[in-house]
Structures are given as structure tokens and as C-alpha cells.
């Protein structure tokens, strides 16, 4: 278990939109690490399937949905878990994954646009 989870919020406020205040280098590194977890087509789809499942979902139900090997799915799930986006539990032979909405909500807030932000348009 190489649990090297991403620490976030350690630099203070974790829930302020970036259009509200610029990130310092430390916060940017933390945020980028979580975005990186979603920056792969397989992982983003995995995340969306797990998040929309409405309930925990078995790895055995996830794997056949993809064209990549089992070990690759396992690898991607670990990345999502290290990013704090999902968690899992072994129950018998099977392993079940569920979403951690807090981390997703955090990213969502980071990217939220207060009202009429942005000068350009």
C-alpha cells in the first residue's frame, strides 16, 4: 500500500475560486496533483462511472467497460484513490469503490466563476 495521498488545504484556504484569488505555488502544486488524476481519459471516465453509480461499484463491473487490461484499471484506480477522489473496500473476493464528493466539490469550487468574472469577453 503505497499510500501517498495528496495533502490539500494545508496551505490555508482550500475553497476559494481561482478567479477570486491567485494560488500560491504550494496550493498550485496541490491542486495540479488532483487535476492530474483526472487528466487521463480512462481515469476521468472511471471517476464519472463511480461518481454516477449512485452507490459503490465493483471493480469487476468496471474492468469490462474499458479496452485496457486489468492491471491498468487497477493502476488508474489507485491514482484516483491517492488523489482522494475515491475510496475502496475489499469485501470477500471483490473490491468496491465509491466517490469522495468533497474532493470533487473542492475542485469544482476552485474553477467556479462567481458571476461576471473575466475581463475579455
Instruction: Kindly give, in sequence order, each residue whose CB lies less than 8 Å from that of residue 47, ignoring residues fewer than 6 positions away.
Output: 38, 80, 85, 86, 99
Interaction of residue 85 with DNA, rule CB under 7 A: no
Instruction: Kindly give, in sequence order, each residue whose CB lies less than 8 Å from that of residue 12, ignoring residues fewer than 6 positions away.
Output: 27
Q: How far is the CB of 57 from a copy of itself (least distance, A)?
A: 9
Q: How far is the CB of 52 from DNA (least distance, A)?
A: 18
Chain positions contacting a copy of itself, by CB under 8 A: 18-25, 28-29, 31-32, 35-36, 38-45, 47-49, 51-56, 87, 98-102, 104-105, 107-113, 117-121
Interaction of residue 28 with DNA, rule CB under 7 A: no
Query: Residue length, the chain?
Result: 121
Among 25, 54, 55, 93, binds DNA (CB under 7 A): 93
- Backbone angle region of 101, left / alpha / beta, with phi > 0 → left and psi within -120 to 50 → alpha: alpha
Amino acid at each position: 500500500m503505497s499510500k501517498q495521498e495528496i495533502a490539500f488545504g494545508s496551505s490555508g484556504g482550500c475553497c476559494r475560486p481561482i478567479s477570486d484569488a491567485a494560488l500560491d505555488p504550494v496550493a498550485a502544486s496541490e491542486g495540479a496533483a488532483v487535476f492530474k488524476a483526472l487528466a487521463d481519459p480512462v481515469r476521468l471516465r472511471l471517476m464519472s462511472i463511480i461518481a454516477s453509480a449512485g452507490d459503490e461499484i465493483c471493480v469487476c463491473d468496471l474492468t469490462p467497460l474499458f479496452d485496457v487490461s486489468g492491471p491498468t484499471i487497477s493502476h488508474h484506480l489507485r491514482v484516483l484513490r491517492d488523489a482522494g477522489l475515491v475510496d475502496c473496500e475489499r469485501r470477500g473476493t471483490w473490491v468496491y469503490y465509491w466517490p469522495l464528493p468533497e474532493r470533487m466539490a473542492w475542485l469544482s469550487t476552485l474553477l467556479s466563476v462567481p458571476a461576471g468574472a473575466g475581463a475579455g469577453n
